[in-house]
């Protein structure tokens, strides 16, 4: 359903030390977790504290990964998948609630977002090897095991049951958004008032740079991925981007992206980038993922129902469209 671009969002300006009266330090570290790159930036009173808290964040993300990653055979999600069509599986409340929220997104997007996309057959190839479109029969078969309505949750027993053999669930980038938000809340509880956790384009941002200025976040130009098309100055918010501009094919003059509509099996068309701002990275990720599949009209219609969240859409033709509630004063063309 969604594959992250390498760096669709990234920090533009970083200060290492502020020389104000209340000097603080900024420490950064990059690592690979949950199948993707995490860039962690923490502002603290001293280097030791900052590094220790980065260690705490990495440990928490690793814990979440071991709990929900469908590619780890020992995770609870893998156990759910292994018992598809056989029996319900009891999971921790954390996994149950995350699944419940993912199903909520599936319902409000009418399947444009669907955590059972993990069972989809990978019949579309975006490595240059595909010379013709898959047949309608092959496409239909590829999503035969996909369908959020076949996921049964039992809140009393905290179980998840997949009705069909061969079904699978996987949180993908939604899990990354969940992890960044949870780690942000953990840092705030520890008294860390400023930082950024960037999970390959899913960012939880809080506080300011050491000099008190907002963080500057760059949005990749989808037509020139090495360039920045705009910058957003942010203090306390989440920002996520979904993009289809790195992997796509053309058939009969039409562009087909690597982001597949889980309800139909066909690639999403019309949009090449969606950036969403809001208070929660998990929710923002669900919206950016869904918007890519829904297309411009339905995506804006969906976001308008949630005034805490706003978006920037970039169409395949290069047009930039902002939702009505987008805080335009935060956006500036990058020079």
> Between residues 332 and 186, which one has the greater pLDDT?
186
pLDDT for 244 equals 77
Compute the average pLDDT of residues 162-189: 95
Whose structure tokens read 């960012």? 203
pLDDT at 1 over 70: no
Distance CA 99, CA 105 (A): 10
Distance CA 173, CA 36 (A): 9
Distance CA 44, CA 238 (A): 20
Distance CA 7, CA 38 (A): 10
pLDDT at 217 over 60: yes
**Quick one: CA torsion of 320, 325, 327, 328, rounded to 10 degrees?**
40
Pick the closest to residue 222 from 1, 29, 9, 43 (CA basis). Answer: 9
Which residues, in sequence order, are bridge partners of residue 29?
Answer: 40
pLDDT for 3 equals 43
pLDDT for 75 equals 96
**Quick one: CA torsion of 54, 209, 6, 255, rounded to 10 degrees?**
140
Question: 28 to each of 12, 51, 57, 328, how far by Cα in Å?
Answer: 13, 8, 12, 29
pLDDT for 193 equals 93
pLDDT for 290 equals 94
pLDDT for 22 equals 56
pLDDT tens string 37-51: 999 999 999 999 999
Percentage of the residues of the chain whose pLDDT score is greater than 90: 67
Check: CB of residue 294 under 8 Å from CB of residue 251: no
pLDDT at 212 over 70: yes
Residues present in the chain in total: 335
State the CB neighbour count (10 A cutoff) for residue 273: 26
pLDDT at 271 over 60: yes
pLDDT at 14 over 60: no
pLDDT at 333 over 70: no
pLDDT for 156 equals 98
pLDDT for 13 equals 43
pLDDT for 18 equals 38
Compute the average pLDDT of residues 241-250: 80
Residue 237 — very low, low, confident or very high, per pLDDT cuts 50/70/90? very high
Distance CA 335, CA 229 (A): 9
Check: CB of residue 27 under 8 Å from CB of residue 53: no
pLDDT tens string 192-207: 999 999 998 899 999 9
pLDDT at 335 over 50: no
Distance CA 6, CA 98 (A): 25
Residue 318 — very low, low, confident or very high, per pLDDT cuts 50/70/90? confident
pLDDT for 327 equals 87
Percentage of the residues of the chain whose pLDDT score is greater than 70: 92
Distance CA 209, CA 233 (A): 11
Class of domain 1-335 (CATH, top level): alpha beta
Residue 95 — very low, low, confident or very high, per pLDDT cuts 50/70/90? very high
Q: Per residue, what are the HEC states of the chain?
A: CCCCCCCCEEECCCCCECCCCCCCEEEEEEEEECCEEEEEEEEECCHHHHHHHHHHHHHHHHHHHHHHCCCCCCCHHHHHHHCCCCCCEECCHHHHHHHHHHHHHHHHCCCCCCHHHHHCCCCCCCCCCCCCCCCHHHHHHHCCCCCHHHEEEECCCCEEEECCCCCCCCCHHHHHHHHHHHHHHHHHHCCCCEEEEEECCEEEEECCCCCCCCEEEEEEECCEEEEEEEEEEECCEEEEEEECCCCEEEECCEEEECCECCCCCCECCCEEEEEEEECCHHHHHHHHHHHHHHCHHHHHHHHCCCCCCEEEEEECCCCEEECCCCCHHHEECCC
pLDDT at 15 over 60: no
pLDDT at 272 over 80: yes
Across the chain, what does the average pLDDT equal? 89
pLDDT tens string 101-160: 999 999 999 999 999 999 998 898 888 888 889 999 999 999 999 999 999 999 999 999
Compute the average pLDDT of residues 311-322: 90
pLDDT at 258 over 80: yes
């Amino acid at each position: 359903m969604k594959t992250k671009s390498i760096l669709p969002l990234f920090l533009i300006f970083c200060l290492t030390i502020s020389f104000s009266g209340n000097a603080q330090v900024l420490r950064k570290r990059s690592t690979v977790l949950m199948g993707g790159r995490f860039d962690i930036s923490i502002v603290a009173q001293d280097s030791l504290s900052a590094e220790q808290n980065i260690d705490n964040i990495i440990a928490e993300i690793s814990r979440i990964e071991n709990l929900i990653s469908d590619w780890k055979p020992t995770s609870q999600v893998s156990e759910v998948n292994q018992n598809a069509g056989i029996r319900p599986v009891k999971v921790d409340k954390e996994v149950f609630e995350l699944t419940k929220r993912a199903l909520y997104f599936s319902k409000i997007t009418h399947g444009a977002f669907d955590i059972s996309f993990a069972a989809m057959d990978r019949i579309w190839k975006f490595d240059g090897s595909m010379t013709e479109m898959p047949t309608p029969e092959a496409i239909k078969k590829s999503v035969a095991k996909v369908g959020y309505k076949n996921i049964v949750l039992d809140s009393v027993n905290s179980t998840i049951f997949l009705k069909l053999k061969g079904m699978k669930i996987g949180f993908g980038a939604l899990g990354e958004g969940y992890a960044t938000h949870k780690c942000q809340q953990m840092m705030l509880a520890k008294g860390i008032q400023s930082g950024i956790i960037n999970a390959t384009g899913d960012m939880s941002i809080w506080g300011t740079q050491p000099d008190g200025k907002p963080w500057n976040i760059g949005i990749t130009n989808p037509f020139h991925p090495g360039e920045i098309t705009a910058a957003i100055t942010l203090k306390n918010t989440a920002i996520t981007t979904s993009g289809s501009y790195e992997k796509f094919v053309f058939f009969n003059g039409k562009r087909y992206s690597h982001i597949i509509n889980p309800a139909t099996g066909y690639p999403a068309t019309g949009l090449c980038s969606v950036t969403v701002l809001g208070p929660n990275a998990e929710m923002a990720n669900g919206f950016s993922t869904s918007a890519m599949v829904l297309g411009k009209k339905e995506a804006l219609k969906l976001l308008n129902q949630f005034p805490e969240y706003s978006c920037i859409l970039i169409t395949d033709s290069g047009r930039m469209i902002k939702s009505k509630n987008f805080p335009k004063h935060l956006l500036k063309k990058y020079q």
